Structure 1
């Protein structure tokens, strides 16, 4: 981890914060996996546990935000150190929002489980996009842990694949609803889940962008994305 700060205590405090961030990241990854499994299996009780588990993520966000604020006030980091603390604050926010999206998926799973009329294979509809988003989240957290700017740049482009997955799901969903109005309710629910997964991909991409900000000092948010295969 690059550092220009001379205080050993600062480094210890920052490392303690980063350790908790990765604990939070692990919780969020697990929450997402469990939510998708609930969507596949229709296990309403398991979905309820996923929703309840979001409280632990929310508590970590508050604790970590407070710790980062105190670190800035007490240690007054500069240059790379300050960028790392600011990026960490943003990562915490994105992780909390990913937890919120996972909870949404779990709630939709509960709703679908209450229906007895099997219309479409709702899990198969989102299986691919969920796999892509889960991989992007995991790899973005790995890039943040190692502050690997090269890996982060490669990951940012992958969000386009998730966006493409979502557009395909949306088109297919509209076709289902037009051909058989009985599928409208479950298709709309499935589209809500697909949108939540697409948002998780966006938040994971944000984490990769923060890595570039820390390592290179460049804020590349809101810049046009390159075509797949090109570097950011």
Structure 2
């Protein structure tokens, strides 16, 4: 109905988190904590999500890789290229499977050689500087600006010096929902919500018009 007053930003934010406030790491079965294995798994997921492919397919591919034991840089390197291709195919990640299988192997070797398999060493190198952290992430084959953005967006609740961080896709979601896109006003609307979950929910809104409609209606009803 035209002319209806939009719900307050705070109500929209609350409805958004209620509707889809789950990180992509959670969806991929990653129990994110400050230890090497889940941090590496988040790096793998960030690489997969950064391709021009549906997020659900990227998540399924990550689950398949982890399900086949490729949960650490060492096990990723020790797997054959064909094993990586097959796992990606099992998750229906077929458009980029061969190139991605190569990048996963090369990236895992770089993580082993550069940070001894522990991305907390990259965090130490960055010393609280988010730009330096993202620059370090982009050294990993297959991790470009989009992949670094995803990693920081998902890790910010664990590494608070990286946040609050939304990125371009989350801001697109905010715009679609009628939320403010200035960081200060958006942070005020989201006050009390986990930064990573709120950012992921905004990304989901950017990718799915049905989520925008459901959140808007829930906010009006609330």
Q: Which one has a bigger Cα radius of gyration? A: 1
Please, what TM-score do these two structures have when normalized by structure 1?
Answer: 0.29
